[in-house]
A and B are shown apart, each in its own frame.
Chain A
Amino acid sequence: MRVRLLAVVATFAALIALVAVYVVYFLESGPPAVAAVINRDGSANLTLQVVGAYGQHPFPDWVSYLVKDPSGKWRHTTIWKLPAHTLVHVTIYQFDTQTGLRNNFLAEIRGTVGGVADYTDVGDAGKGSGLANYDNTPLSVLPPAEPAHTFTVPDLDLSVPLVGVSATANNICSASPCAMSYAHNTIAFSFRTPGAGTYRWQCFVPCALGFLYGFGGPMQTIGYMDGLLEVA
């Protein structure tokens, strides 16, 4: 009887341990948080790139964001630490081709300083019929067919559509991190962070190639096209 009781207790303990290991692994397996660069004037710089294909394990063909860490190295994470009540200057190098918005309401730039973002074509990113050419052009509304992605923080009413590279451009980057010699668009804007808290952000363009309605895979995975702003 005692042996049977011990066996039951040991089995139960082993199962609890397995569950605990899984939970710890799950919690620890998310992408790391990378801090923005703090400037001398107290503002912060957040530098990002968006690529059409991450190019590396485990999902080399997934579209993804990357962030530049304070040492200047590109890191594959979408959890970014920002100081509270601070002006943040965001620069996004956008290397992916255009898809267009599903909801044109998101064509408007919202929540940025001045309600605008500056758009610049680099290389032959703007090549192609019907595409506008941008040269440090401040826009408050982007033509709805042009975005490849958006950077949107719904709780902050912050949203910036990211113009896409022309599909006929000659040198489209196929794997991250992408060098600046590849065709891309540079989008720059500033916004002011709120008080401390964690705010989710996401892309609203259905840009996940090969998934139902373009919204599976990377669009549903933190570390690719969704993430968190950890404001402290």
Chain B
Amino acid sequence: MSAAPETVGRDEPHHGRNFAIIWAVATAIMVPVSIWVIGPHIPPGSLTDDTRAQHALDVALTALSMPVLMLVWVYLAYAVINFRSDPASETIVDGPPIRGNSRIQATWLIVSAVVVIGLAAYGTVDLLTENGAGGGQGSNPLAKPSDAKSALQVQVIGQQWLWTFRYPGYGGVETAQLMLPVNREIEFHVTSLDVVHSFWAIELGVKADAVPGADNIAYVKIFRKGSFQVRCDELCGLWHGHMNTTGHIVSGAKFDSWIHATATKYAAVTKTLPKYSLTYYPTPTRNG
């Protein structure tokens, strides 16, 4: 008959139960805090349908991360307070070895699997429903908004180091100014004249790679008037950091007025533009 293993701290409080209670309380506090206090401040805001979906996903991820975050922080704090070494003791006494705990392992695996698969499902649904997640969907989008046929087409052209925008519905006029109407579906066709750029309209929640010879489509519907920043998000050379502009969202009437004035203003140069095409290639190259 073997002797019972020596245990340490037999008179200690029930740490597992105490820790679980503290963790549950902290989680119960922090999940609502993350949703209703921190959540409203999480980018990218609610200017468009894309940003609303992205914001909801960001808040959901933040809330879901709280139990894990609390698990780590509470455990750390609990361990620092309760398991710190005794200054009066000259030796460090370790606890008994733990050799497997099927209940903890099963719980851990099941919870992890549910969280990961749940998030994957959430993300996939978000990508495929309504108008996608604001990213470029290539030339044949899987997720099209219901009002895609009436969408305003805007071609975004990247080149080293300038963004320009063509409006094929208005004679193919090209401008360096990006003006969009509120409450109308926008269909961006993103392409490049030279190297790979990335069209990032931050407050619109749109980011699409601009690739020469490729047509990358992204949809967005904007709900409020205002302005937004456009940046290049693909390192593209010397002035990459300067490849930005400010876009404006205006009423439908003001947009109509602006686009007709712009078409008139640029009529002479519009005649020299190549016929509107969904893609372009880097021509000419240096010939002399």
Q: Which residues on A are within 8 Å of B, measured CB to CB?
A: 52, 96-100, 102-105, 107-108, 140-141, 143-144, 154-155, 157, 164, 167, 200, 202, 204, 206-211, 213-215, 219-222, 226
Q: Would B284 and A105 count as touching, CB distance under 8 A?
A: no
A98 CA to B238 CA, complexed, in Å: 24
A50 to chain B, nearest CB (A): 13
Contact of A105 among B161, B174, B238, B283 (CB under 8 A): B174
A141 CA to B161 CA, complexed, in Å: 21
Q: Would B284 and A206 count as touching, CB distance under 8 A?
A: yes
A119 to chain B, nearest CB (A): 16
A183 CA to B95 CA, complexed, in Å: 90
Contact of B237 among A164, A206, A215 (CB under 8 A): A215
Q: Would A209 and B242 count as touching, CB distance under 8 A?
A: no
Neighbouring A residues of B283 by C-beta, 8 Å: 102
Q: Would B269 and A108 count as touching, CB distance under 8 A?
A: yes
Instruction: Decide yes or no whether B159 CB sits under 8 A from chain A.
Output: yes
Given A103-B157, A103-B159, A154-B176, A214-B269 contact (CB < 8 Å): no
Q: Interface on chain A toward B: helix, strand, loop, or mixed SS? A: loop
A56 CA to B92 CA, complexed, in Å: 73
Q: Would A141 and B284 count as touching, CB distance under 8 A?
A: no
A140 CA to B286 CA, complexed, in Å: 25
Neighbouring B residues of A209 by C-beta, 8 Å: 286, 288
Q: Would B268 and A108 count as touching, CB distance under 8 A?
A: yes
Q: Would A97 and B176 count as touching, CB distance under 8 A?
A: no
CB closest chain-B residue, reference A105: B174
Neighbouring B residues of A208 by C-beta, 8 Å: 286
CB closest chain-B residue, reference A214: B286
A103 CA to B269 CA, complexed, in Å: 11
Instruction: Decide yes or no whether B91 CB sits under 8 A from chain A.
Output: no
Q: Would A226 and B239 count as touching, CB distance under 8 A?
A: yes
B162 to chain A, nearest CB (A): 6
Instruction: Decide yes or no whether B7 CB sits under 8 A from chain A.
Output: no
A125 to chain B, nearest CB (A): 13
The 9 nearest A-B residue pairs measured at CB = A97-B288, A108-B269, A214-B286, A213-B282, A220-B238, A105-B174, A104-B272, A209-B286, A214-B285
Instruction: Decide yes or no whether B64 CB sits under 8 A from chain A.
Output: no
Neighbouring B residues of A206 by C-beta, 8 Å: 194, 282, 284-286
Q: Which residues on B are within 8 Å of A, measured CB to CB?
A: 157, 159-162, 164, 174-176, 193-195, 237-239, 242, 266, 268-269, 272-274, 282-288
Interface centre among B239, B274, B288 (most CB of A within 10 A): B288
A103 to chain B, nearest CB (A): 6
- What 10 additional pairs, Cβ within 8 angstroms, besides A104-B274, A215-B160? A100-B284, A104-B273, A105-B176, A107-B269, A213-B194, A219-B160, A219-B238, A220-B237, A220-B238, A226-B238
CB closest chain-B residue, reference A164: B288
A75 CA to B208 CA, complexed, in Å: 42
Given A202-B239, A213-B282, A105-B164 contact (CB < 8 Å): yes
B83 to chain A, nearest CB (A): 33
Neighbouring A residues of B162 by C-beta, 8 Å: 103, 154, 204
A221 CA to B239 CA, complexed, in Å: 10
Q: Would B286 and A210 count as touching, CB distance under 8 A?
A: yes
Q: Would A105 and B273 count as touching, CB distance under 8 A?
A: yes
Contact of B159 among A52, A97, A99, A204 (CB under 8 A): A204
Neighbouring A residues of B268 by C-beta, 8 Å: 108, 140-141
17 contacts between A and B (CB under 8 A): A99-B287, A99-B288, A102-B159, A102-B282, A103-B174, A104-B273, A105-B174, A105-B273, A154-B176, A157-B176, A214-B284, A215-B160, A215-B194, A215-B195, A219-B238, A222-B238, A226-B239
Q: Would B194 and A99 count as touching, CB distance under 8 A?
A: no
CB closest chain-B residue, reference A226: B238
CB closest chain-B residue, reference A144: B272
CB closest chain-B residue, reference A167: B288
A11 CA to B216 CA, complexed, in Å: 52
Q: Would A105 and B282 count as touching, CB distance under 8 A?
A: no
Q: Would B176 and A102 count as touching, CB distance under 8 A?
A: no
A103 CA to B164 CA, complexed, in Å: 9
Q: Would A102 and B284 count as touching, CB distance under 8 A?
A: yes
A176 CA to B175 CA, complexed, in Å: 36
A210 to chain B, nearest CB (A): 7
Neighbouring A residues of B176 by C-beta, 8 Å: 105, 154, 157
Q: Would B195 and A213 count as touching, CB distance under 8 A?
A: yes
Q: Would B269 and A105 count as touching, CB distance under 8 A?
A: yes
Q: Would B242 and A154 count as touching, CB distance under 8 A?
A: yes
Contact of A102 among B193, B238, B287 (CB under 8 A): B193
Q: Would B274 and A99 count as touching, CB distance under 8 A?
A: no
Neighbouring B residues of A207 by C-beta, 8 Å: 286
A208 CA to B102 CA, complexed, in Å: 67
